[in-house]
Structure 1
Amino acid sequence: MLPSHTCINTSFFQPSAFLMIGIPGLEAVHGCISIPFSAMYTAALTGNGLILLAVRRTPSLHQPMYYFLSILALTDVGLTLSTLPTTLAVLWFDYRLIGFNACLVQMFFLHSFSVVESSVLLAMSFDRFVAISTPLHYAGVLTNNVIIRIGLAIVTRATVSLFPLPFLLKRLNFCPGKILLSHSFCFHADVMKRACADITVNIIYGLYIVLSTVGIDSLLVVLSYTLILHTVMGLASPRERVRALNTCVSHISAVMVFYIPVIGVSMIHRFGRHLPPIVHALVAYVYLMVPPVLNPIIYSVKSKPIRDAMLRVLMRQG
């Protein structure tokens, strides 16, 4: 499968750097756009940092549910930091250049943190299932050692899945000259389509990663909540049912905030080739920036223990 801009020159060429567009069609107002972007990055880092401090400094939150929330917050910090340097460099200083190898490193971490986030949300759904179906054995099933093993398995899975991706891109031939990327960061699908070579292997492996990670995770999350709903419906009183389901509201919201943009990005890249470039850019920014911003808000609003612990951290800092 050859891209439309295949080169006639068959000599192997690899660019020393790429040029990032930023937000296509809005280059003239990047300075103004940088204000809401900076606010979102600040909110993501501050909110997730507060969650990490709150859980660490509050002994009553040293429970499996909040440990998983800490892993989610740490993942959101990593996802935010993956795109922050290049995005703000483009918007603030109109600095659009990114080295080829630096681009591949950014792409690896960006997609790895996305896979980790999907896996953490799956682990949190398992946590809710154990808490509701076998509450008396909850602490015995999800011990600290089990949580550590789950965390290591999540990181290993993401690393192993994404490790071949940069090397598959390095084997591709690119056209000489300036190569423009459609975003202010390196996205696999975007970099791959800039090659002047057969990218069939890259497409197949990219699809494999999506299906074997996010695809499987989303199905298992649905299965977990099907089992949770079955368990809840078996409870004696409506009040117990509402109380049990209420413990899942925050996680369900986080799942929707993550998976809906993921589905949007996948659909856009596969079926939205004729859409304006700005649509591709905005959907990608929503996918990467909205979950880290909204997750701390969701959990601080719906979880009183987290909200109170975050307020205590702010008061101590003040």
Structure 2
Amino acid sequence: MRMLLLLLGLLATPLTADEYRIETLADGLQHPWGLVELPNGELLIGERRGRLLRLNADGSRTLIDGLPEIASGGQGGLLDLALHPDFADNLWLYFSYSQPGPGGAGTAVARARLTGNRLIEQQVIFEQYPKTSGSAHFGSRLAFDPQGYLFITTGERYHSRDMAQQLDNHLGKIIRLHDDGQVPKDNPFIDRPYALPAIWSYGHRNIQGAAIHPGSGVLWAQEHGPRGGDEVNIIKAGANYGWPVVTFGQEYSGGAIGEGSHHSEMEDPLWVWVPSIAPSGMLFYTGSQFPQWQDSLFIGALKGRKLVRLTLDGEQVTQEHHLLSELGSRIRTLVQARDGGIYVLTDESNGKLLKLMPPL
């Protein structure tokens, strides 16, 4: 019933701008994608074209050197950023990117120590197999869970969607690794013949938002549908999320995809958008600046050009609210600031770093 209500548009309600104020911290960014806040309060911003910037306390910007070769173009480029849970001690910065190579490109993840304004001791800890042609559907988000495992979301590279149902490749999968790239021995497919051991879940289309639930420690993710059918999912080890066998979307030409919207051996989504909002960026709010938003799930919308807030009752969505529609901007990335504000990156040629704070 909750999906039916959303599909009919009965639960979406706008929030007025007097519930928050918007601070512009930076503009003139070229399609910013990844964002992390350093222990000293400075920010690192990744631009999709393959640049990593430090936003200093005085508002100036410094270019960080040491990135690898990146296949930037289309949806590819420098993608997500994440700090090691013990970054203050070990200085490990993680980043995902579209990696060029034989056959085309694929999502990869590397880590390097951030020393001053340079990345050193770089290690590639994940390479999507196989590399394919095209410049769409790389994913990709990075999330550390409370046990220190690293989750990597991918896409099925658009033209290879049937491979999302096969376990001999990394396309359309969520990956789970130790922080150094080693495969955990309790991964669900580690002993299955012909399956790649790093796979945690499969049957995904293009996941550009992921976050760890603050209460359960479980990964939640949202993914792009085709023409309709964007999803929020609670991720389970070894589970099949259906693409392209089941979906609430349809072909861009208007035809049906797969077998419908439900399969008894595949996971149903928690929440669906029809028509698509093109979700990207995701966080569970746990800060103190907005007590009325505690435990809400926030999701950015690219095509929808808004920020979505889902209120939750356990693992049930009870209502959808919309923020920032007045900006008309593509919302790419969300990060909770240490002071309880919310950082927002807009994905545009003149992209901005915004911060949501309570009204003065």
TM-score (norm 2): 0.28
The higher radius of gyration belongs to 1
More helix by share: 1
TM-score (norm 1): 0.30
Relative contact order: is structure 1 or structure 2 higher (C-alpha 8 Å, sep ≥ 6)? 1
